[in-house]
Amino acid sequence: MGPLAAQAEEVSVAVAANFAAPMQKIAALFTKDTGHTATLSMGSTGKFYAQIKNGAPFHVLLSADDETPLRLEKENGTVPNARFTYAVGKLVVWSKQAGLVDSQGEVLRNGRITHIAIADPKLAPYGGAAIETLKALDLLTKLQPRLVQGESIGQAYQFVASGNAQLGFVALSQVMSEHRITEGSAWLVPPHLYPALRQDAVLLKKGKDNPAALALLAYLKSEKARAVIRSFGFGL
């Protein structure tokens, strides 16, 4: 660790809420393997966009979509040719209660369900995917009054985890670890019901001369990081 520690740098990373758990694991491996430190901030992609535009000192953005990094790129907020898809997200309907959610998603037609959590579709791509799914199932008008909005997918998950909502649309990565659902019951929403949740990473202007930022983006493409990403249910 001697020579590594001497040149170790710190990278500040804005991480989409749905990628929090895998990124914490990857950050620990990154530090162990490179000596660099990744300081993580978790939240909604929409909020991070606003913060970055207002000069927030992030070096790297791990977005929950591919549109926000592209937008920042067009607005000259990123380093050219440094954007890539690090994961493809999957949407699930999840309940903390075992057996409540069936394998076909018919629970959404159950009149006894009074609160369904989703992320704010204006701020969070997974919220937009939930709305598109309900439209495709012809359930949006019927279920609109029962929808409870969180500002991020992290907050939507909290609504369900705390029991304030019986079920909700969340990221598979939030309820899966080591290739299995950790608790409760879930329906994996068929991908044809919503637009692909391609999640892009990008090097922001403030990270241009930061060796740790460059090292982290390279590390995300490593087999070690990809194995972690897969274990949380993401596609690559």
Q: Are residues 74 and 95 in the same domain?
A: no
Q: Are residues 104 and 76 in the same domain?
A: no
For residue 123, being part of any structural domain is answered with yes
pTM of the shown model: 0.83
List the pLDDT tens digit at each of the 236 positions of the chain.
444 444 889 999 999 988 999 999 999 999 999 999 999 999 888 899 999 999 999 999 999 899 999 999 999 999 999 999 999 999 999 999 999 999 999 999 998 999 999 999 988 889 999 999 999 999 999 999 999 999 888 899 999 999 999 999 999 988 988 788 889 999 999 999 999 999 999 999 999 999 999 999 999 999 999 999 999 999 98
CATH number at residue 163: 3.40.190.10
Q: Are residues 149 and 180 in the same domain?
A: yes
Q: Are residues 138 and 206 in the same domain?
A: no
Q: Are residues 186 and 206 in the same domain?
A: no
Q: CA dist 165 to 141, 148, 158, 185, Å?
A: 19, 8, 9, 14
Q: Are residues 63 and 10 in the same domain?
A: yes
Domain count, the chain: 2
Q: Positive or negative CA dihedral for 158, 163, 165, 170?
A: positive
For residue 28, being part of any structural domain is answered with yes
Q: Are residues 97 and 188 in the same domain?
A: yes
Which pLDDT score, from 0 to 100, does residue 52 have?
A: 98
Q: Are residues 108 and 162 in the same domain?
A: yes
Which pLDDT score, from 0 to 100, does residue 1 have?
A: 44
For residue 211, being part of any structural domain is answered with yes
CA-to-CA distance for 222 and 101, rounded, in angstroms? 35
For residue 236, being part of any structural domain is answered with no
Q: Are residues 60 and 37 in the same domain?
A: yes
Q: How many CB atoms are located within 10 Å of the residue 84 CB? A: 14
Range of the domain at 189: 90-193
Which pLDDT score, from 0 to 100, does residue 17 have?
A: 86
